[in-house]
Amino acid sequence: MIKIAVLVSGSGSNLQALIDANLSGQIVGVISNKPDAYALERAKNAGIQTAAIEHKQYPTREAFDAVMHQQLLDWDVDLVILAGFMRILSAQFVQSWEGKMVNIHPSLLPNYKGMHTHKRVLNTGDVFHGCTVHYVTAELDAGQALAQGVVKVSNQDTETSLANRVHELEHIIYPQVVEWICTGALKHTSNGVIYRDHPMKAPVQFCKF
Ligand code: GRF
């Protein structure tokens, strides 16, 4: 069974969705860089071991990442899931987990990398918005996209209403992608990403209009 670690910084609603999904893999640990993250409570309530590794206590990004890396090795982790983890990872850490680390980002990548995506979508007047699960590579929010959840933006939408709808889809697509990885339906190989025995050319799309 695949052993999973989830990295968090905040509320952890995606972590909760992963816990509730009863995955074929096992979530063996949750790491937070913020000791007061509510996500840690969710993990404890589910009987999952936790580690609070406060980034502020380390002189460099690399030093902090090295401690996280060691914790992941100690837990014998196969797959690292970033779920609202608000730290940029060092190149070395990303390289160590390449092909074994996924993230969810609240936009239809490659559009709106970075922060404040809902606001930027509203300001631009886009018709569609959503979220993307992707492999993590050294370049921010740029690894291969595996699945996208698409919502339609209405002119009644506020940043909050849009964020809520995108979040609902996140809670569907993230556990789904992780389950594909756990069952081997989705594989990262030296020849690229394979989905159900075919090269994955585009992310799987989930729409909620
Ligand atoms: C989500 O919007 C996710 O897309 C982004 O961080 C947020 C995490 O939310 N990467 P939560 O902590 O899972 O509720």
User: What topology is assigned to 104-209 in CATH?
Assistant: Rossmann fold (3.40.50)
From the CA of 166, how far away is ligand 1's center (Å)? 10
Q: pLDDT digits over 133-181, tens only?
A: 999 998 888 899 999 999 999 999 999 999 999 999 999 999 999 999 9
What residues contact residue 203 under an 8 Å CB cut-off, 6+ apart?
132, 133, 134, 145, 146, 147, 148
What's the predicted TM-score (pTM) here?
0.96
Half-sphere exposure of 51 (CA within 13 A, CB side): 17
User: What topology is assigned to 1-97 in CATH?
Assistant: Rossmann fold (3.40.50)
Mutate to test the pocket of ligand 1, among 36, 89, 133, 170 (most ligand atoms within 8 A of CB): 170
pLDDT at 100: 98
Average pLDDT, the chain: 97
Domain ranges for the chain, please list them: 1-97, 104-209
